[in-house]
Structure 1
Amino acid sequence: MTIHDVPTTRDELLAAAAEVFDRDGYARATIDEVCDRAGVTKGALYGHFSSKKALALAVLERQAREWARIRERLQRVHRSPLQVLVDFGYAVNRDRAVVQRLLFQAPLCDDAAQHHVARWTATVLDLLRHAENRGELRAGVDLAGCADGVVSALVGVHLMAMAVDVPDDAVAEVWRTWLPGVAKPPVYAALRIAPR
């Protein structure tokens, strides 16, 4: 174990906060519960975060960094940017619980949701540009419009999951509906649409 593998108090607070926000939601989560779960004092928490809102925003930022690492890993595994996009969509969907509780239900969400949705859209747009450069897309595809559409569909899956039981293949349905219209037929035929 290296020094970089040892979790810091900040790491432990973020992990504890993610669990508490996931379980209780932002409004019901308490600083006391986060501190108890992390095994630290309130003073230690406030040494890192000025408020519960700052803590929640840091949890969201931590998740965004994790998704960036997942994207990088997927890009090393797959040659096709569209396959990266498909698998990235599943990764985001799999880790959606805390994001749902913080971005789409919490009172802090307006600015945070706008910021994070814009980041997701930029990620999708970047992958679509790579796919276009590799010749994977049909001619004349509106990349910005597609990026907005994909993110809207995936956010829709998140929002639906807060209200009703969403089938396990809801993300696969997004891909089955959307990809044939933008990917060249041989490219679409070679994609794995189901989760790994």
Structure 2
Amino acid sequence: MTTRDELLAAAAEVFERDGYVRATVDDVCLRVGVTKGALYGHFSSKKALAVALVEAHALDWARARERLLRVHRSPLQVLVDLGYAAEHAAVRRLLFQSPVCDEVAERQVAQWRSTVHDLLRGAAARGELRADADLPASTEGIVSELVGVHLVAMAVDAADAAARGLDRVWRSWLPAIVRPEVWARLRLGPPR
């Protein structure tokens, strides 16, 4: 693991524990055992560190999508599993609770929207969706509910809040747009 990776991992812990405003670069450096100079050699500021953490998570999420597409035949199962892969408490706090959200939340939500739409379009091409499924409306609804799940999970601060919320999203949206025989085969819980 490089120093940059160690700094990102430490920042995730510190941002999750303290939030963006209370987190300090001193706390991040202390966790890694480096000087502020070493941190500033990789990141120009605490904000740049936070943005890099969110961007690293977005890249991990995109890689997870590609891996899941190789594992699952159904784009809908990929969609369900990606919902769980998006769960990252520090990133959630950065996106929806800090000044960083002004910079990156819109890009992150746009990535979610594009991914959900692509997966629904793939499911439609495979004949997995009902004939009357409205892809744009379903995309917007699912993404809005995913954002809501993250906001509620942050507000209640319970370890399983996001997973329970995701289960509700899938159980409310998917039966309305997915063919019954496909719905019966989907695993709605987190991947094991």
TM-score band by shorter chain is over 0.9
Whole-angstrom distance in 2 between the partners of 1:180 and 1:126: 19
- Cα separation, 1, equivalents of 2:50 and 2:164: 29
What secondary structure is seen at the aligned counterpart in 1 of 2:34?
coil
Shift of 1:147: 1.4
Question: Is residue 132–residue 177 contact of structure 2 (8 Å, CA) maintained in 1?
Answer: no
Deviation at residue 108 of structure 1 after TM alignment: 2.1
The answer for the alignment partner of 1:130 in structure 2 is: 122
Aligned residue identity for 2:72: H
Deviation at 1:140, TM superposition (A): 3.6
Structure 1 residue runs of 5 or longer lacking an equivalent are 1-6
- Please name the residue that 1:170 is paired with: 165
User: What is aligned with 1:57?
Assistant: 51
Counterparts of residues 1-196 of structure 1 (less than 5 Å)? 7-93=1-87, 95=88, 97-164=89-156, 165=158, 166=161, 168-196=163-191
Q: What 5-or-longer segments of structure 2 have no aligned partner? A: none
Q: Which range is displaced more, 135-144 or 176-185?
A: 135-144
Root mean square deviation of aligned Cα: 1.4
In structure 1, distance between residues paired with 2:18 and 2:162: 23
1:3 match: none
SS of residue paired to 2:73: coil
Tell me if the contact between 2:12 and 2:91 (Cα under 8 Å) persists in the aligned partners: no
SS of 1:58's partner is helix
TM-score between the two structures when normalised by the length of structure 1: 0.91
Partner Cα distance (2:42, 2:163) in 1: 38
**In structure 1, C-alpha distance between the alignment counterparts of 2:39 and 2:163, rounded to whole Å:** 37
The percentage of counterpart residues that share the same residue type is 65
Q: Which amino acid aligns with 1:8?
A: T
Write the distance in 1 (CA, Å) between the matches of 2:92 and 2:119: 24
1:51 shift after superposition: 0.8
- Distance in 2 between the 1:92 and 1:85 partners? 11
Residue 167 of structure 1: how far off its partner (Å): 7.4
Question: What TM-score, normalized to structure 2?
Answer: 0.92
Partner Cα separation in structure 2 for residue 154 and residue 147 of structure 1: 11
Shift of 1:173: 1.1
Instruction: Work out whether residues 150 and 162 of structure 2, in 8 Å CA contact, stay in contact via their aligned partners in 1.
Output: no
Tell me by how many angstroms 1:28 deviates. 0.3
Aligned structure 1 segments of 4 or more residues deviating by more than 3 angstroms: 165-168
Cα deviation for residue 80 of structure 1 reads: 0.3
Q: After the TM superposition, which of the residue ranges 165-174 and 125-134 deviates more from structure 2?
A: 165-174
